[in-house]
Amino acid sequence: MSTLRVLGIDPGLTRCGVGVVDVDRTRRATLVHVGVVRTPLEADLPARLAAVAAGIREVIAEHRPDAVAVERVFAQHNVQTVMGTAQASGVALLVAAEAGLPADTHTPSEVKAAVTGYGSADKRQVQSMVARILRLDVLPKPADAADALAIALCHAWRGGETARAVAGALTPAQRAWTDAERSTRVRDRRLGPVHR
């Protein structure tokens, strides 16, 4: 596999960011698709989750990614917000599984570090670096869409079994980095979830 196509998903109930990128063996990334799946606030929860699922299915059917990457949900002070995000995340992982696609999750700090080199970067920094990496003339908007692209880039560069299919282009240092990240994820799974 010389090019990896990744669908990145920034899960949300009101706005679910979706972004598809192609990444080649030289780590050069190209924009394929970016958008946001929106659901109406007045709709009931099952209908909103169904709309998120339908939107993700459309993107998968049209762009046929090799893998799906979803931002991992962490506990927040606003329980209602985190519940909606977690439910949308579950829908995204379910849709990926239904399509027979490998899926993985990445923490916000992993994603920020992958695209900006700094795990605490702000939204504007992420948008700017995503635009630079993908050679875009304008910043991808809204932030949910930029985050989805960042998640896809993170997955292609740093994680997931499918991403390692293009690892032949990695330097020994990059390969050591991905191996260390995989070991950390395995350890974290054994120790249980970390709340930030």
What CATH number has the domain bearing residue 10?
A: 3.30.420.10
- Binding-site positions: 10, 71, 144
Residue-by-residue DSSP string for 126-144: HHHHHHHHTT-SS--SSHH
pLDDT of residue 73: 81
The reply to whether 107 falls in a domain is yes
pLDDT of residue 196: 37
Q: Give just the sign of the alpha carbon dihedral 46, 49, 51, 53.
A: negative
- SS3 for 87? helix
The reply to whether 165 falls in a domain is yes
Q: What is the pTM of this model?
A: 0.80
pLDDT of residue 141: 84
pLDDT tens, per residue, the chain with 196 residues: 589 999 999 999 999 999 999 999 889 999 999 999 999 999 999 999 999 999 999 999 999 999 999 999 876 666 777 888 999 999 999 999 999 999 999 999 999 999 998 888 888 899 999 999 999 999 888 889 999 999 999 999 986 554 555 545 544 555 565 566 566 655 655 665 444 3
pLDDT of residue 180: 64
Catalytic residues, by residue number, are 10, 71, 144
The reply to whether 196 falls in a domain is no
In which domain, by residue range, is 111 found? 3-191
pLDDT of residue 194: 45
Torsion of CA 29, 101, 14, 156, to 10 degrees: -20
- SS3 for 9? strand
- Binding-site positions for Mg(2+): 10, 71, 144
The reply to whether 72 falls in a domain is yes
Closest by Cα among 118, 76, 119, 107 to 185: 107
Q: What b/e string do you get for 9-22 counting C-beta neighbours within 10 Å, with b at 16 or more?
A: bbbbbbbbbbbbbb
The reply to whether 19 falls in a domain is yes
The reply to whether 177 falls in a domain is yes
Closest by Cα among 189, 156, 161, 158 to 176: 158
179-194 residue pLDDT tens: 665 666 556 556 654 4
Count of structural domains within the chain: 1
Instruction: Give, in order, the Cα–Cα distances in Å from 151 to each of 59, 69, 83.
Output: 16, 6, 20
The reply to whether 60 falls in a domain is yes
